[in-house]
Amino acid sequence: MPTLILASSSPWRRELLQRLGLNFDCESPNIDESPANGEVPQELALRLARQKAEALAERYPHHWIIGSDQVACLANGELLDKPGTHSNAVSQLIRSSGQQVSFYTSLYLLDSSNGASQQHCEPFSVQFRSLSLAEIEAYLRREQPYQCAGAFMMEGLGITLFDSLKGQDPNALIGLPLIALNRMLINWHCNPLLQNAR
């Protein structure tokens, strides 16, 4: 199989992809992630994943390039991006408290040698507990999830913020839908279970 390229600088996506036991390289695609006018969350997530993969196609012309993106939103459609700062994270978690937040994690697999591609968008929802400001502040001080959509890290203490989770692939909530990616690789005759271990 061609060399895999993960079009991401995310350490969480890198860690997830390592679980499949395949050799791969990472590179940040550095694209503009601003939503287009009227773009719904699923469309935004899929477009960004595609653009991330395509941004690296010229540099890696004989590779399978994996693009992925995650968009989070409240039930009213308000997008929850990466907060970046403590105050923005506090504001996001206050708005999420007691609410259901939907996550759409997209996947785009591009064969840069011939332009073939596969895409998928994995939905996942979390029901936040009603959180006190003291809980929010304590959580943010401990994990500082300022580069995570929704202002939490599910693989850490973020799990304490929820009443329930609903979805088919919990890896999607962390940032990369491995079940869908495995299916895509098998579609292209690359079964991670049958590849040589690293």
- State the catalytic residues: 69
- Kind and range of the H or E run holding 173: helix 170-174
* CB-based contact 16:175 (threshold 8 Å): yes
Region of 38 on the Ramachandran plot (φ > 0 left; ψ -120 to 50 alpha; else beta): left
Residue 147 to residue 21: CA distance in whole angstroms: 26
CA 115/CA 34 separation, integer angstroms? 25
φ, ψ of residue 122 to 5 degrees: the values are: -100, 115
Tell me how far CA of residue 70 lies from CA of 27, 106, 190, in angstroms.
17, 6, 25
